[in-house]
Amino acid sequence: MQLDAFQKQDPDQQSDSFEGQHRVAVLLPMPLKGPLDYRVDGDCPPLGSFVWVKVGGKVSPGVVWDLPEEISGAEENATSKTKQYPLHKLKLIENIIDVPPMRDDLRQTIDFVAHYTLSDPGLVLRMALSTRQAFKATPIKMVYFAGGEIPERLTPPRQRALDAVKGHGAMTVRQIADVAGVGEGVVRGLISCGTLVGIEQGVDKKYQQPKVTGQWPTLNDEQHQAATALLVNIKEGGFKPALLEGVTGSGKTEVYFEAIKAVLEKPYHDGQVMVLLPEIALTSQWLDRFEARFGVKPVVWHSNMGTAERRRAWKGVAEGHARVVVGARSALFLPFRDLALIIVDEEHDPSFKQEEGVFYHARDMAVVRASFKKIPIILASATPSYESLHNVEQGKYQHLTMRLRHGGATLPDVSLVDMRLDQPPSGRWISPSLEKALAEKLEQKQQAMLFLNRRGYAPLTLCRTCGERLTCPHCTSWLVEHRQRGQVLCHHCGYGMRTPDECPECHEEGSLVPCGPGVERIVEEVGNLFPEARILSMTSDTLPTTEETLAAIDQIISGSVDIIVGTQIVTKGYHFPGLTLVGVIDADLGLKGGDLRAGERTWQQLSQVAGRAGRDSAKGNVYIQTYQPDHPVNEALKAGDQQAFLKADMESRQTHHMPPFGRLAALIVSGPDEGLVIKAARRLAATAPHYKGVGVLGPAPAPLALLRGQYRYRLLMKAEAGIALQKMIRQWLEKAGKMGKVRVKVDIDPYSFF
């Protein structure tokens, strides 16, 4: 790939022939179009080396992106926006960081992501360099071993200290004193007379290697077939994408554990495995399950890790002794020394799409990385994305299916509750039939779960005197009441205030009423219906930390909870053996707004939440409350047959050239001055490219027309499959020219349309 920073070389400047000096291109984690040139004295560092360089008066880490050969190779396409500096004027690289160089597959992936998402490569690199601590020298401590002469006068405490060291190996002064039960002075005495000898030791311990131990289950026929296919892929190597589609509880995890095992056992290889999971699923039983099979916890990578833990993980990955790394989407950019297998579990999960900074889809880019590294990749889901199903149809992905739940557990019975006929009393949201089912489960001492994808108490607060709605001053959105906190909050920008006692408009006291339900309100309703029941609320508000989520999961499994009420957290891959009833409070919620993926997303979400029921021996029941019982999604869920729905929904996408049959890119124009935003959006529309098979819709005010004080307009570019959108958009933006105070963000393959 050609980068703009490479300049045409002036033949008069015989700069690169400087004795023993070289020009290297270093990519920095900054918003620049490409790498910057630096000079090295002496040997050229290998491609991918991590280095410290000076830039703009500061020192920054960077990565050697190209060496002199590549630089001259880029001449033809070089632009001449900036003049190429003669070698002797270039800054010297400060120093080379003592970590293994970044491998080709990651550098290629970074370039690809930048190109694909129209982002500066430096900003993509920034995601790979998020762990600055790893570039500083590893903190060290002094440890002491018995190496010197034995002193003539060996007091009993000294003897104990010496014995401790001999018995335990090298330790710090503190540790020796503790083990021997002596004062630190005694230990220091032995050091000063040379009996104990000190050496420096890095504080980052190597990771223990996973070992195939523990109890491994005997696979059933379907599982065996799928696993066998995966093992062949691993044995043969090469880029082999496979979609592992198995109903909830069919044992997908067990099957891909076999693949991990095969990588670890491969003779003469130290291949590493990357497992991507939605962030929330990381807190689940996954880690324990892994430990039960492999004897150690996997190396974990997620957004709220401590500094030391991050440094150790990053280095372990780069050095190669972190063999299995499980992480959220950002793990995609870890510097694996020798990646051998990628697994993306719950591959349909929307959280794999990052929608800030660089807008990229971690699943898609994981496939890209696997293709560069020429290794197998497994995408697992009970409800695969249409993109992956389409790739299967096109013969690009292998398709491995498992239709049965393991161990004879059957899929739950699904009933649709027609809310027009089966109405709850006013101000309540649980229908009589769901209430009855809940009562039965309580009677039988089984667990139930209610799902409503809406945080807070009520989505809207209305004044019944003047009709005023509480809205966010910075966004086009209602303020959501959070009764527990006594606040109304904006879910888009975080703005909040104490819930007012009187209407801010007409000042009528006690006139504000909550409209509609959020989970808090369902918790309240369940509490009123079943005062004896032990209720657990599972939302990002009630369980803000990993520890709290883990504790909640333990509570559920140990049976100290009767009814769980939660938001989309509960749709994730948890396995709660005692759970036999799932109630969906409002199945129509996700279908509102009607964006392109509404059907797909609702189907995925409801199948997943339904899939939590009856995973053990007892039969599960699912109640879906809806005003549209004949909606194809609902019919499919009831019939337990997704084929008809998927076929119809996919066909409609195909007819309209929508993804995955066509391509989309959104342009979001935003700025603090609405007039300027509209002007810029209109100018973009006026300069839109005219090509066969390409259309541009808009501009239209975004559904969230105001977000964090920024006015927003959207354009949508639609293209037939196979058309290179990126190039077209790049040219388009250049043609449209400078936008002043207005920002244009491009979202390739958009998932959100707000």
Binding residues vs Zn ion (CB under 5 A): 472, 474-475, 490, 492-493, 495
Per CB under 6 A, 223 contacts ligand ADP: yes
* Candidates 216-224, 233-241, 269-277, 640-648; binding stretch for ligand ADP (CB under 6 A): 216-224
**Whole-number minimum distance, CB 650 to ligand ADP, in Å?**
23
In 3D, which of 30, 15, 144 has the Cα closest to residue 85?
A: 15
The one among 67, 197, 219, 292 contacting ligand ADP by CB under 6 A? 219
Q: Which does 733 bind (CB under 5 to 8 A by kind): ligand ADP, Zn ion, none?
A: none
Q: Which is nearer to Zn ion, 141 or 708 (CB)?
A: 708
Residues 330-389 that bind ligand ADP (CB under 6 A): none
Of 238 and 672, which CB lies nearer to Zn ion in the complex structure?
672
CB 190 within 8 A of CB 158: yes
Residues 252-271 close enough to bind ligand ADP by CB under 6 A: 252-254
Cα–Cα distances in Å, from 475 out to 42, 313, 478, 675, 702? Answer: 56, 39, 8, 17, 11
Cβ of residue 487: shortest distance to Zn ion, in angstroms? 13
575 binds ligand ADP (CB under 6 A): yes
The distance of closest approach from Cβ of residue 474 to Zn ion in the complex, given in angstroms and rounded to an integer, is 4
3-state secondary structure of 571: helix
The rounded distance, in Å, linking the Cα atoms of 674 and 742 is 9
In the complex, least distance from residue 382 CB atom to ligand ADP, rounded to whole angstroms: 6
Size of site (CB under 6 A) for ligand ADP: 16
- Give CA–CA dist 154/165, Å, rounded: 15
Among 7, 9, 250, 284, binds ligand ADP (CB under 6 A): 250
Segments in 118-155 forming alpha helices (H): 121-128
Residue 657 makes CB contacts below 8 A (sequence gap 6+) with 718, 720, 721
Name the residue nearer to ligand ADP (CB basis): 258 or 649.
258
Sheet holding 487-489, edge to edge: 480-482, 487-489, 496-498
Tokens of 249: 């509880």
The helix/strand count (H/E) of the chain reads as 20, 29
Between 354 and 401, CB nearer to ligand ADP:
401
Report, in Å, the least distance between residue 401 CB and ligand ADP: 12
Segment interacting with ligand ADP, rule: CB under 6 A, options 18-26, 230-238, 242-250, 669-677: 242-250
Q: Which does 254 bind (CB under 5 to 8 A by kind): ligand ADP, Zn ion, none?
A: ligand ADP
Helical (H) or strand (E) element with 344:
strand 339-345
Q: Is 733 in the site for ligand ADP (CB under 6 A)?
A: no
Angle, helices 173-180/156-168, rounded to nearest 10 degrees: 110
**Binding window for ligand ADP (CB under 6 A); candidates: 56-64, 243-251, 425-433, 458-466:** 243-251
Nearer to ligand ADP, 404 or 438 (CB): 404
* Partner whose binding site includes residue 251, from Zn ion, ligand ADP, none (CB under 5 to 8 Å by kind): ligand ADP
| Binding partner selected for residue 435 from Zn ion, ligand ADP, none, CB under the kind-specific 5 to 8 Å limit | none
Three-state DSSP state, 173: helix
CA R_g for the chain: 30
Least CB distance to ligand ADP at residue 254 (A): 4
Distance CA 548, CA 545 (A): 5
* Contact partner at residue 252 from Zn ion, ligand ADP, none, CB < 5 to 8 Å by partner kind: ligand ADP
Nearest partner of 718 among 695, 698, 700, judged by Cα: 695
Residues 349, 152: Cα–Cα separation, whole Å: 70
For residue 87, give the nearest of 65, 64, 71, 107 by alpha carbon.
Answer: 71
CB contact set of 127 (below 8 Å; sequence gap of 6+): 330, 333, 357, 358
- Asked if 334 and 128 touch (Cβ cutoff 8 Å), the reply is yes
Choose the one of ligand ADP, Zn ion, none that binds residue 472, judging by a C-beta under 5 to 8 angstroms depending on kind.
Answer: Zn ion
What's the length of the chain? 754
Instruction: Supply the minimum distance, in Å, between the C-beta of residue 273 and ligand ADP.
Output: 17
Q: Is 604 in the site for ligand ADP (CB under 6 A)?
A: no
Exposure of 197 by Cβ count < 10 A (0-12 exposed, 13-18 middle, 19+ buried)?
middle
Which residue's CB is nearer to Zn ion, number 606 or number 704? 704
Residue bearing tokens 């005062």: 531
249 binds ligand ADP (CB under 6 A): yes
Q: According to the binding rule CB under 6 A, does residue 245 interact with ligand ADP?
A: no
User: Could you tell me the smallest distance in angstroms from the CB atom of residue 704 to Zn ion?
Assistant: 9
Which span sits near ligand ADP by CB under 6 A: 77-85, 246-254, 541-549, 561-569? 246-254
Nearer to ligand ADP, 249 or 671 (CB): 249
* 293 touches ligand ADP (CB under 6 A): no
Q: Which of 45, 246, 583, 629 binds ligand ADP (CB under 6 A)?
A: 246
What whole-number distance in Å separates Cα of residue 451 and Cα of residue 584? 5
Residues 97 and 60: their CA atoms lie apart, in Å, by: 11
631 binds ligand ADP (CB under 6 A): no
Q: How far is the CB of 286 from ligand ADP (least distance, A)?
A: 9
Query: Which stretches of the chain bind ligand ADP, using CB under 6 A?
Result: 217-220, 223, 246, 248-254, 406, 573, 575
